Amino acid sequence: MTGTGTFGSRLERKIAQYGPLCVGIDPHAYLLSQWGLPHTAAGAREFSLRVLDAATDQVAAIKPQVAFYERFGAAGYSVVEELFVEARQRDVIVIADVKRGDVGTSVDAYADAWLTPGSPLEADAMTLSAFQGFDSLAGPLNHVVNNGKGLFILAATSNPEARVIQTARVIGEEDEQRVSVSAHLLEKVDGWNASHSTGAAGSVGVVLGATLRLSDYGIDIFRTREPSLPVLAPGFGHQGAQLTEARAIFGNLLPSTLISESRSVLSSGLEGIVDAVRQRSDQVRREVVGTP
């Protein structure tokens, strides 16, 4: 969607250029009201384009949460299409937060919708659930290889009700060592990148919540990885994780970690969103990257 090369290489360049902030675009009903906008597709459109204006040339990526547009039916999807076209024209990386997951032709169709070049819903990357097994994602992975797209697989999410499943132990395929579901998925993603990436930056990443103690999930944050493992990290800002804790949370994964925030900047309102995104991006660069 933006530029040429693999998704991993494009993301790496954007992080180097603007820092690792990823702004979520989530037109909650209460935020639309706070912004003085109607709870309609038209309100979501105005909200979304204003956030895109603020994020352009300021952040590594944007992450629209598609559920907030689906509420408005076809009109909501029209807003998504327009938002993605605008982002493409501005060379802004778009991660479609759709959390799709299925098997066979169904998951293939999801990937075709969100990752096919020229599709009305074309994004640079999408979020996926691998509950039906990492190997069920063959179709989306083909888009990574053939179309330069990216994926972020849910591995350790910050919602507390997920812990019982994500810390459950599975028997590894190559030995009898039991690992957590989260660690298993991370290892599968890491192995796929090692087999398919042509440079130092992987194009398939994982979602790891910043409010978690990842060691409880069996995840080794200090393992050196080549190519890099992209991480989408919600939990900063509104959910309480502190930027100063980012290195302790993500260890050697930090250089390829996107700091994902939505409500913490979106709550600034219609008149304050530009300053809020710029100031937060500057703060993330100072406190996470260590650049002035």
| Amino acid in the structure at residue 216 | D
Cα–Cα distance measured from residue 225 to residue 254, given in angstroms and rounded to the nearest whole number: 11
The residue from 14, 63, 99, 188 that is catalytic is 99
Give the three-class secondary structure for 228.
strand
Nearest C-alpha neighbor of 237 from the set 182, 179, 280:
280
Nearest C-alpha neighbor of 134 from the set 184, 92, 169:
184
What phi, psi does 235 have (nearest 5°)? 120, -15
Using the structure block, give the residue that is written with the tokens 């660690």: 183
**The token pair that represents 1 in the structure block:** 């969607």
Cβ(126)–Cβ(115) below 8 Å: yes
Cα–Cα distance measured from residue 185 to residue 180, given in angstroms and rounded to the nearest whole number: 9
Cβ(18)–Cβ(57) below 8 Å: yes
Cα–Cα distance measured from residue 12 to residue 262, given in angstroms and rounded to the nearest whole number: 21
Q: Is 99 a catalytic residue?
A: yes
Cα–Cα distance measured from residue 15 to residue 188, given in angstroms and rounded to the nearest whole number: 24
Any idea which residues carry the catalytic annotation? 99
